[in-house]
Chain A
Amino acid sequence: MDLIPVTIDGQRIEVPEGTSVLEAAELIGIDIPRLCHDPVLGAVGTCRLCVVEIDGMRNLRASCTTKVTPEMVVRTGTPRVQESRRTVLELLLSDHPADCLTCEKMGSCKLAEYAYAYGVRKGAFAGAEHHYELDDSNPFIVRDMNKCILCGKCVRACQEVTGKNVLGFAFKGFDTKATPFGDTSYLESDCIFCGNCVAVCPTGALTEKGMQGQGRTWEMEKVRTTCSFCGVGCTVDLNVKDGRVVGVTSTDGTVNDRAMCVKGRFGWDYINSPKRLTKPLIKRDGRFEEASWDEALYFVASRLGEIRQRYGSQAFGALSSARTTNETNYLVQKFARGVMGTNSVDHCART
């Protein structure tokens, strides 16, 4: 592949043909602000925040859609660029609720991040504001379209990642809205509640219902792990606060590139179910009674010991699980073979 030499903010770099200016800058650690760009989605250049100055071009260019050309000279932070970004942010804020204090997205909102970085406050432009009703009619996703900046990432995620094409832009001009076709609720659409639109939304327009009021991003520990709901094995982040899992969110992972499905993103809450067993149970006279671990383990060990003694190894069988870890499976078969003396160990054959 041909390598193309370019200069960005005085640094020279060679990048493969077809690389965008934004990606090339990233390679040398320059983080150009962006609201509508996402590495897994097609670049559209609508938010105009990623503009840069390129020698020999009169207008500022959106760096996400501009491909590098040989000997291109790019400047990413000139006063003209900064001014342009400020104007974009001022326009966005003019129609954005000043609701950050209670907004679910506070701490991870890209709009707030850039407004802060560029010192932009609400009020530079006075204009009409939207007054959409909050839509929390489905169990998983809350939509506050007043906070939508029409970046279109949700539309593209639904189309390009999930392949569902549920979302589009309805209406024109000021009334434009990112919404299921026919401006229905998610429930009435073909939505499969994968939440991939929520994962890419830069503002508080789309948020996880289960995480409402559960804590601020900076209070949460993110634990990288593997989803346990199917054989795909998506990499996900468990969001933990005060010793409790309060959400599951996307993270960079080779298997799934941040994509998830309804189970992985929203079906995990069984782990906090009040119906879970918290104490060992021993059946006495046909009824379960709570027991201490010590009592229960002692009972299991002695009963299994008796059975091994009285009937021999062949009287025992173990079922391990395709849901539990390799380590637990290894121990279960070691237990059946090494302790009980039998190879009768299997797991549910639902492959």
Chain B
Amino acid sequence: MAGLATTFGSGAMTNPIADIDQAELLLLIGTNTTEAHPVIGYRMLKARRQGARLIVVDPRRTELADLADYWLQLKPGTDIALLNGLMQIILKEGLEDRAFIEERCENFEELRDTLESYTPERVSEITGVPVELLFSAARLYATTDRAALYYTLGITEHVSGTMNVMSCANLAMLTGHLGRPGTGVNPIRGQNNVQGACDMGALPNVYPGYQNVNVPEIQAKFEQAWGVPLSGEIGLKIPEMFDAAHRGELKAMYILGENPVLSDPNTNHIRAGLEKLEFLVVQELFLTETAQYADVVLPGGSFAECDGTFTNTERRVQRVRKAVEPLAGLADWETVAEIMTRMGMPARYRDASEIFDEMAALTPSYAGISYPRIERDGLHWPCPTPDHPGTPILHVGKFSRGKGRFQAIDHVPPGELPDEAYPFLLSTGRVREHYNVTTAYSPGIMALWGEEHAWINPEDAHALGLEADSRVRVTSRRGEIETAIEITDRVPPGMVWMSFHHAGSPSNALTSHLVDPVSGTGEYKVCAIKVEKLIS
């Protein structure tokens, strides 16, 4: 989310989910919404039925691509080129929002100069999208009054993820599609509380509310509140932690509710890092692949077993309620509080709301929120005071950082592309029925969707002699796995698509070790593989 923070001053969905009903045009980039966020997908389908126009940018022919006015089937990892191309057309045709750019943005000239070389022909060459489609999409987006842009992992999970995000922001600013109902730049967050985990400062560079750890006044504020000295040095991101573990510098880890062995890219590197640790604590519901490496496993509690809050993708802070007692006796927060207390920092909270109140007192964007206020419906942050109604739409009249800053960005090719030895491009993602690790323990879900199926185009399947019931070995420079397949023209020739939900075929054994240097997000969307038929 660093991309939006740099451009706008805040890195979250700019508009609420309900705004989908108000948009006249939905521009979806790298988001298979009906699969990954079904209930938002329903809303998009409904908007489409009621006449909203639809542009879908995706290498895969998704359900929404089938319904789109324009489907831009770009080559994976060429989003920046595509967006630059659209922007060049908009400028050349004079369709930009002059007033918006002049009053509310800065650094326009630099962007304009960069766009110069992204002619429709060149962009078509890089992306594989026909020139006419580029024109049609650019004109429709620029000339529609209420046009909303949505994206998910298809944009962020690249080495250029942060820059992809900035390019989306550029496009929206250029056309003035911000700060009004039915517009905006909207990253739909995958996991239920990824927004909240970021907001709470489970990040190496910021305290709760994106307050920088290396600003002395902020450090002093938290030192005073917590009564301990704190470090002003930015910490390690996940990949850096595992690198440090490899080098023997990181000796101990506490991993709560994550299964990096299955969910992070380049599994083998992670396993080796975990093995080198002197002490590993894992707090989890199940004895996961990651927990196997632990010295101590602490049983976790499910969402039904604790009070608390989640912050959803539209920045709405909502209540989570304890319905049953924790199976193992302690809710997750109680376990952490126990350890803190035993290590000399008393954390004797009577209930979850006391933690929330302590956090809110230190976090300006949450300061006005409290359990009684969100008893029924939840509130959108920023909500600075107890009488503030919350902020469903960001950047109305003015950006969080003042002026919206255009970022001049050049196309960066993916870190690893197919070659002779590894001729296919692998992309990974989410399916509707699964959610990271937990759903694998749902008998009903597993009965219907128990196995990975790698998607492969009929042309490629034919060339490899594959039938519908074939199994294949998929190999990358980092690992190999076996999987069943589905032959479908929803992926183009040369591309294979897999989910990352199945321990039996852990696709992240294959994915790239490369990460976005800014966000630390792994490049799950592009890596090179080869595919061989398994003889049964």
Residues of A within 8 A of B (CB): 138-140, 160-163, 192-194, 209-210, 221, 223-235, 238, 240, 243-245, 253-256, 259-263, 266-271, 273, 275-283, 288, 293, 296-301, 303-305, 307, 311, 313-339, 341-351
Q: A228-B303, A323-B257 are in contact. Are A351 and B308 (CB under 8 A)?
A: no
Bound form: Cα–Cα A348–B524 in Å: 13
Residue contact A228 to B310, C-beta cutoff 8 Å: yes
Among A254, A269, A329, A338, chain B packs the most CB atoms within 10 A around the CB of A329
Closest A residue to B237 using CB positions = A346
Contact count A vs B, C-beta below 8 Å: 465
Residue contact A333 to B200, C-beta cutoff 8 Å: yes
Residue contact A276 to B448, C-beta cutoff 8 Å: no
Residue contact A333 to B202, C-beta cutoff 8 Å: yes
Residue contact A337 to B230, C-beta cutoff 8 Å: yes
Closest A residue to B259 using CB positions = A348
Residue contact A303 to B226, C-beta cutoff 8 Å: no
Residue contact A319 to B253, C-beta cutoff 8 Å: yes
Measured between beta carbons, the chain B residues less than 8 angstroms from A245 are 304, 323-324
Residue contact B436 to A323, C-beta cutoff 8 Å: yes
Residue contact A210 to B238, C-beta cutoff 8 Å: no
Interface check B474, CB cutoff 8 A: no
Interface check B203, CB cutoff 8 A: yes
Interface check B233, CB cutoff 8 A: yes
Measured between beta carbons, the chain B residues less than 8 angstroms from A224 are 319, 321
Shortest C-beta distance, A279 to chain B (Å), equals: 7
The residue that A341 contacts in the complex, of B49, B231, B245, B317, with Cβ under 8 A, is B231
Task: Find residues 194-250 in chain B having any chain A CB closer than 8 Å to their own CB.
Answer: 194-205, 207-208, 213, 222, 226, 228-231, 233-238, 241, 244-245, 249-250
Residue contact A346 to B340, C-beta cutoff 8 Å: no
Residue contact B208 to A343, C-beta cutoff 8 Å: no
Interface residues on B, range: 35 or more
Measured between beta carbons, the chain A residues less than 8 angstroms from B152 are 351
Bound form: Cα–Cα A331–B189 in Å: 22
Measured between beta carbons, the chain B residues less than 8 angstroms from A223 are 304, 321-323
Interface check B1, CB cutoff 8 A: yes
Interface check B491, CB cutoff 8 A: no
Shortest C-beta distance, A311 to chain B (Å), equals: 5
Measured between beta carbons, the chain A residues less than 8 angstroms from B175 are none
Known: A243-B325, A320-B257. 5 other contacts (CB 8 A): A223-B304, A273-B286, A277-B286, A304-B343, A323-B257
Residue contact A254 to B378, C-beta cutoff 8 Å: yes
Residue contact B323 to A225, C-beta cutoff 8 Å: yes
* Main SS at interface, chain A: mixed
Interface check B153, CB cutoff 8 A: yes
- 0/1 interface trace, chain B 27-63, chain A, CB 8 Å (1 if under): 0000000001111111001100100000000000000
Interface check B482, CB cutoff 8 A: no
Shortest C-beta distance, A38 to chain B (Å), equals: 15
Measured between beta carbons, the chain B residues less than 8 angstroms from A209 are 444
* Selected A-B contacts with CB under 8 Å, 5 pairs: A260-B39, A275-B287, A307-B252, A317-B241, A331-B355
Measured between beta carbons, the chain B residues less than 8 angstroms from A233 are 192, 310-314, 316, 318, 378
Residue contact B238 to A235, C-beta cutoff 8 Å: no
Residue contact B328 to A279, C-beta cutoff 8 Å: yes
Q: Which of B110-118, B124-132, B293-301, B404-412 contacts A (4 or more CB under 8 A)?
A: B293-301
Bound form: Cα–Cα A226–B378 in Å: 10
Interface check B476, CB cutoff 8 A: no
The residue that B355 contacts in the complex, of A256, A327, A351, with Cβ under 8 A, is A327
Measured between beta carbons, the chain B residues less than 8 angstroms from A138 are 448
Residue contact A325 to B284, C-beta cutoff 8 Å: no
Residue contact A348 to B235, C-beta cutoff 8 Å: no
Shortest C-beta distance, A313 to chain B (Å), equals: 7
Interface check B372, CB cutoff 8 A: no
Interface check B272, CB cutoff 8 A: no
Bound form: Cα–Cα A210–B442 in Å: 11
Measured between beta carbons, the chain A residues less than 8 angstroms from B297 are 277, 280-281, 288
Q: Which 8 A-B pairs have the closest CB atoms?
A: A233-B312, A325-B308, A321-B257, A343-B235, A163-B45, A261-B38, A344-B235, A231-B189
Closest B residue to A341 using CB positions = B231
Measured between beta carbons, the chain A residues less than 8 angstroms from B222 are 337
Residue contact A270 to B338, C-beta cutoff 8 Å: no
Shortest C-beta distance, A160 to chain B (Å), equals: 7
Bound form: Cα–Cα A223–B439 in Å: 21
Measured between beta carbons, the chain B residues less than 8 angstroms from A232 are 17, 37-40, 312-313
Bound form: Cα–Cα A280–B330 in Å: 11
Bound form: Cα–Cα A228–B52 in Å: 30
Measured between beta carbons, the chain A residues less than 8 angstroms from B400 are none
Measured between beta carbons, the chain B residues less than 8 angstroms from A296 are 296, 298
The residue that B284 contacts in the complex, of A163, A230, A277, with Cβ under 8 A, is A277
Closest B residue to A225 using CB positions = B321
Shortest C-beta distance, B509 to chain A (Å), equals: 16
Residue contact A229 to B435, C-beta cutoff 8 Å: yes
Interface check B498, CB cutoff 8 A: no
Residue contact A324 to B250, C-beta cutoff 8 Å: no
Residue contact B327 to A276, C-beta cutoff 8 Å: yes
Closest B residue to A263 using CB positions = B435
Measured between beta carbons, the chain B residues less than 8 angstroms from A332 are 202, 254, 256, 336
Q: A330-B359, A337-B222 are in contact. Are A319 and B260 (CB under 8 A)?
A: yes
Interface check B447, CB cutoff 8 A: yes
Measured between beta carbons, the chain A residues less than 8 angstroms from B344 are 339
Among B229, B238, B244, B434, chain A packs the most CB atoms within 10 A around the CB of B238
Shortest C-beta distance, B240 to chain A (Å), equals: 8
Residue contact B310 to A315, C-beta cutoff 8 Å: no
Interface check B486, CB cutoff 8 A: no
Residue contact B336 to A328, C-beta cutoff 8 Å: yes
Bound form: Cα–Cα A266–B38 in Å: 14
Residue contact B435 to A351, C-beta cutoff 8 Å: no
Bound form: Cα–Cα A335–B341 in Å: 10
Residue contact A298 to B190, C-beta cutoff 8 Å: no
Residue contact A225 to B231, C-beta cutoff 8 Å: no
Measured between beta carbons, the chain A residues less than 8 angstroms from B396 are none
Q: A268-B442, A304-B343, A315-B250 are in contact. Are A331 and B333 (CB under 8 A)?
A: yes
Measured between beta carbons, the chain A residues less than 8 angstroms from B343 are 301, 304-305, 339
Residue contact B521 to A335, C-beta cutoff 8 Å: no
Interface check B438, CB cutoff 8 A: yes
Residue contact B250 to A321, C-beta cutoff 8 Å: no
